[in-house]
Amino acid sequence: MELRELSPAQARERVAHGAIFIDVREEHERAQGQAEGALGIAKGELLAEPARHLPDASREIVIICQRGGRSLEAARALQALGYEHLVSVTGGTTRWVDEGLPTVVPQLDPQAADFYERYSRHLLLPEVGIAGQRRLQQSRVLMIGAGGLGSPAGFYLAAAGIGHLRVADDDVVDRSNLQRQILHTEARIGQAKVSSAQATLAGLNPGVQVEAVQERVTSDNVERLLEGVDVVLDGADNFPVRYLLNDACVKLGKPLVYGAVQRFEGQVSVFDAGRHRGEAPCYRCLFPEPPPPQFAPNCAEAGVLGVLPGVVGLLQATEVIKLLLGAGEPLRGRLLHFDALGMRFRETRLRADPHCVVCAPGQAFPGYIDYQKFCAVGA
């Protein structure tokens, strides 16, 4: 028997004459509004237990979704199970609204309503959905630095709904920061960067817990800072901290999302050797020894295009979210270079060093070293 498809107005008339009306969209879709009179039962839930929801197979059933595809699929599945009178609404809820037919907004508790509305675009992505967004909500990320890289990364991690964002930085806001460190404002000059970041991100998404740690990262506190986190984002601007973070992440099995900027160029990678020894490289596999200071000036010495940390920090935030979701292909074993002047990306393949002093298979952790001396800071 061929399934009937009716316009929203025709479907509404059938419902007025006693047909059962079911909206098979997910709850987060219905939270924005649904056709008046429809019962909200997600397609998967309906087809898992049709007899519980529709005990009378002889009743006329009108099914609606967002645009008409899922409702037609649900109707066909129910027809195969012996239901006799099925109607799918052509154009779905979108057309229903366009034609000015009445809608209602389901009553939800405030937290659920905020969740569905705030993350509605994420929830539409099959790679995220409800389960993925809940995973982000339960995640904990450590962000080292609330400066050029941490500013854009922090904005988008908070906006994405990371549940707990620990931000560590011992610096205070300076006017020279404002050209690129967009977490901060003129009014906060002299304030601790972590406090400024906490205020900004709380204003963006009050559901995210931002833990401000006004400390310089050292061998004495690095493991405490990494405790309980799922991913570490490296927004540091100096080699001693980069090597320290790398070694701690290898030891504790934490993925490290690396980023660096200088003048008009940036780099991004994911170092995950602690969880993938012998397969994924660590930072030391790429740079066994730091370059001499004269060949690696910092931003204060060499300058940096203000928008460049924005590009690199956003790429880092993207990698953090992918790692937390288990989605896509992370930059593990790949170094992404960005040339802002040429507007070009290029990629370098990285291999794990079988003789790496930190991450080689079977290599015992050598302990933390004097990273300042190792990097010859001030030499």
8, 9, 103, 167, 230 from 236: Cα distances, Å: 57, 60, 51, 12, 18
Other C-beta atoms within 10 Å of 143: how many?
Answer: 33
CB 319 within 8 A of CB 287: no
Is 299 considered catalytic here?
A: yes
138, 230, 247, 261, 269 from 253: Cα distances, Å: 19, 9, 10, 26, 16
Query: Which member of 299, 356, 359, 375 is catalytic?
Result: 299
119, 120, 172, 300 from 304: Cα distances, Å: 34, 36, 19, 8
Identify the residue whose tokens are 């979210």.
321
Q: Both tokens of residue 17? A: 């004459």
HSE (side-chain half, CA atoms, 13 Å) at 56 = 6
| DSSP label at residue 290 | P
Nearest-angstrom CA–CA distance, 271 and 280: 7
Phi-psi region for residue 208, left (φ > 0), alpha (ψ -120 to 50) or beta? beta
For the annotated catalytic residues, the residue numbers are 299
